[in-house]
Structure 1
Amino acid sequence: TEGIMREFDRGYSEVTFSKIAVAVQPQEAIIHKEYHLCSADPNLVGLDHCRPVGFTNYDVADQLADVGMEAIHPKASKPLEINAIDLRIKNTFEPEHPGTLITRDYVAPEKHVEVITGTDKVVMIDIYDPLMVGAAGFDLHLMQAFFDLNVSYIFKATSANSISLLIWQKDLKPQLIKELEAKYEKITVENSSMVCLIGSNIDQPGLLARAAGALAEAGVNIRSAGFALRKVNIQFIIAREEYKAAIMALNAAMG
């Protein structure tokens, strides 16, 4: 137990819970939290403007964990997912509520955004170098610097001659910036925030336009944006001070 506590800190109880579930092999494992897994942060949008998420999948849970909104510690969820054990997240203070059921294969029957979330505790590092144009594997050496200093990124965007990476504020190390500045022509660091539209079935025409329009109407400038082909998570990078306004605008627009 001491070793698990040292490695996983506050997540040790969930990792222990996961190990027991894998050993017992139940159809469903239930974990109790102090809050519901909601469609948006009630502290930002208000209780009347969000709702508990009834069903989702482990893919969505991964996306949430990546921005710090952990339904369950990722080191605890992986064994459950691999062993096809469903996970139910329940609110301790509402024991009669069914909570959120997380399964491996769930896909929402109708296209909609399940969770609007993000973080304002990140920084964007932009690496510009004209030698990048057409060069094969240029970012291999860039990634080596991040690897050597144990820095992980949560967003990446590229152009012909620049690469933008989003990392946690706590992981911004002077040594990392020093190494990058020694190798590449120009390094820019900006305090940032990221807002995300996440769901198991969000691939639909016009969603990106609707989200961008909502941010524009709220006066929020999109600094960068992206999503993978599978479209489980659409990410917008914005100024740190615009985080709350962006969450509220997207929550209102997604209904």
Structure 2
Amino acid sequence: MARKDVDRSGHTVEKIGGTSMSNFDAVRKNIIVGDSRNEELYNRIFVVSAYGGVTDLLLEHKKTGKPGVYALFAGAENRWAWGDDLTRLEKSLTDINLSYFSDLSLRHQADQFILDRVEGVRECLIDLQRLCSYGHFQLSQHLIKVREMLAGVGEAHSAFNTALRLQSEGINARFIDLTGWRESERLAMDEKLKRSLASVDLTRELPICTGYTQCKEGLIETFDRGYSEMTFSRIAVVTGAREAIIHKEFHLSSADPKIVDPAKVVTLGRTNYDVADQLANLGMEAIHPRAARGLCSEGIDLRIKNSFEPDHPGTLITGGYQAKTPQTDIVTGKKSVMAVSVFDQNAPSIAEIEKTFLDLTSRFRVHRINRESNANTLTFYLSATLKQAKRIVNELGSDFPGAEISLQKVAVVAAIGSSLDVNNVLIASLVAFDQESIQVLAAHQTMRDVEVQFILDSEQFDHAVRLLHALLIEGRPNDSEAV
């Protein structure tokens, strides 16, 4: 429910994703500057992500798991492999600067900034490695801080460049570094944000904030790579924004246009935070559920816009919205999911197996999409690499030596809506799958009318998405509400 005390003429907080940031000319034209008159440039706070692919180089590849600087440092299979990777990263970042700044003086400033950061990281990691070589200090105790520091490098790089480029055009942009670089004090997140923005005059300045915030809560430990959404969300809350806006390289649509014919896909237009939570659970990243919670509780509406279609209103996400008639809003899912199942008639209880499962998924930083259980079997559906899943299976085998443990790659396909007729969706979908000879391994629905999930063979994912989109969305009146 929207707040009644909000000044609707106030400022917005806007987040720009990494893929969009890599096309700065489009970002400048479509989002930041466009046709705005001078006074329209301000009363906005921007939170920017690292350029596309940079965080993969700093940490590890999000999809393939290929190690970046962090993973090489943490793995310690080759003591100095991370240093060589850091040097390659340095070259990649200055190459971005080369494409970003035609003016030599500006490029020199950008290069000096990022080289100072990267070399500072190198010195820190060498010192830490040397310290831990004595045996009194354990490297594992410091890895979260290392991950935080590395994540902040990419965010600072893009934010500094953006502010510098805008300043060169006469725009009063201001770089707000929230990464904690060389800071001795670690504040609670909200306090850090308040202090960092306290001196900013939003009527005359355009703050460009890093997506990572160093704080007592430790965003990496809690949210891993969802940290920029938390920064964005909390800035909106602590500054009392009238609206929060996320600029992505695509619309929030009824299906992935790479799978379903783009001519048949529609922009959602309106939905609610409950739907956004389900999308985030499947990795669609409309917004992290914990980030959405703050916006929802404060009555701040969230808008998802396409960075390359500035005149399109996008999709508005609010707390209390429900479609006027029961309908499916989106068909989505995840093509590669690891189903780990434990069958043990000798275990004291399923609860004991579940506790071990939860501990392992937390330890290996694996996201749990769903679970199912009966009297003697528990199955978790995990967003994990095969390597991570095998580690979990091995640990479970040690803890429950008499259990039958299986690992299977599956897909999850979901029908989601703000006002979903779950019974009809479930029945109609199962009939359609049967007619198309698509085997359903499991089906999940809850008492809350927002989502139905189907577990299928991963090879049938695309076919299933197209089938359900045609069945549940195509052919109905296009009543998405643009706002």
Fold shared per TM-score above 0.5:
yes
- Is 2:408 aligned against 1:190? yes
- Higher mean alpha-carbon deviation, 4-13 vs 224-233, is at 4-13
- Is 2:179 aligned against 1:2? yes
Q: In the aligned structure 2, how far is the partner of 1:28 from the partner of 1:237?
A: 37
Deviations 1:182-216 (A, max 9, x none): 41421111110100011111135422111112222
Cα displacement (A) at 1:152: 4.2
How is 1:158-237 mapped onto 2 (pairs within 5 angstroms)? 158-170=373-385, 172-182=388-398, 183=400, 184-203=402-421, 205-237=423-455
How is 1:1-255 mapped onto 2 (pairs within 5 angstroms)? 1-2=178-179, 4=212, 7=220, 11-131=226-346, 138-149=349-360, 150=362, 151-170=366-385, 172-182=388-398, 183=400, 184-203=402-421, 205-254=423-472, 255=474
Cα displacement (A) at 1:70: 1.1
Over 3 Å counting, the alpha-carbon distance change for 1:241 and 1:19 in structure 2 is same
Over 3 Å counting, the alpha-carbon distance change for 1:141 and 1:152 in structure 2 is farther
Which segments of 5 or more consecutive residues in structure 1 lack a partner in the other structure? none
Cα displacement (A) at 1:126: 1.6
The 3-state SS of whatever aligns with 1:160 is coil
Q: In the aligned structure 2, how far is the partner of 1:180 from the partner of 1:11?
A: 28
Task: Return the letter of the residue paired with 1:154.
Answer: I
Q: In the aligned structure 1, how far is the partner of 2:339 from the partner of 2:319?
A: 32
- Higher mean alpha-carbon deviation, 69-78 vs 40-49, is at 69-78
Q: In the aligned structure 1, how far is the partner of 2:244 from the partner of 2:391?
A: 43
Q: In the aligned structure 1, how far is the partner of 2:369 from the partner of 2:229?
A: 23
Q: In the aligned structure 2, how far is the partner of 1:174 from the partner of 1:206?
A: 37
Q: How many residues align?
A: 251
Task: Return the letter of the residue paired with 2:354.
Answer: M
Percent identity, please.
39
The 3-state SS of whatever aligns with 1:241 is helix
Cα displacement (A) at 1:129: 2.1
The 3-state SS of whatever aligns with 1:172 is helix
Q: In the aligned structure 2, how far is the partner of 1:53 from the partner of 1:89?
A: 10
Does the aligned pair in 2 maintain the 1:218–1:245 contact within 8 Å? no
Deviations 1:135-190 (A, max 9, x none): 7xx22211222233214421112233322211113273434212322414211111
Over 3 Å counting, the alpha-carbon distance change for 1:228 and 1:252 in structure 2 is same
Cα displacement (A) at 1:31: 2.1
Over 3 Å counting, the alpha-carbon distance change for 1:204 and 1:169 in structure 2 is closer
Does the aligned pair in 2 maintain the 1:111–1:204 contact within 8 Å? no
Q: In the aligned structure 2, how far is the partner of 1:14 from the partner of 1:48?
A: 30
Deviations 1:55-87 (A, max 9, x none): 111111000000001112334322111211111
Q: More strand by proportion, 1 or 2?
A: 1
Does the aligned pair in 2 maintain the 1:194–1:235 contact within 8 Å? yes
Which segments of 5 or more consecutive residues in structure 2 lack a partner in the other structure? 1-177, 181-211, 214-218, 475-483
Kindly report the root-mean-square deviation, in angstroms, between the aligned alpha carbons of the 2 structures.
Answer: 2.1
Q: In the aligned structure 2, how far is the partner of 1:152 from the partner of 1:89?
A: 24
Q: More helix by proportion, 1 or 2?
A: 2
Does the aligned pair in 2 maintain the 1:202–1:231 contact within 8 Å? yes
Of structures 1 and 2, the one scoring higher in RCO (CA 8 A, sep 6+) is 1
Does the aligned pair in 2 maintain the 1:145–1:176 contact within 8 Å? no
The 3-state SS of whatever aligns with 2:304 is strand
Over 3 Å counting, the alpha-carbon distance change for 1:94 and 1:175 in structure 2 is closer
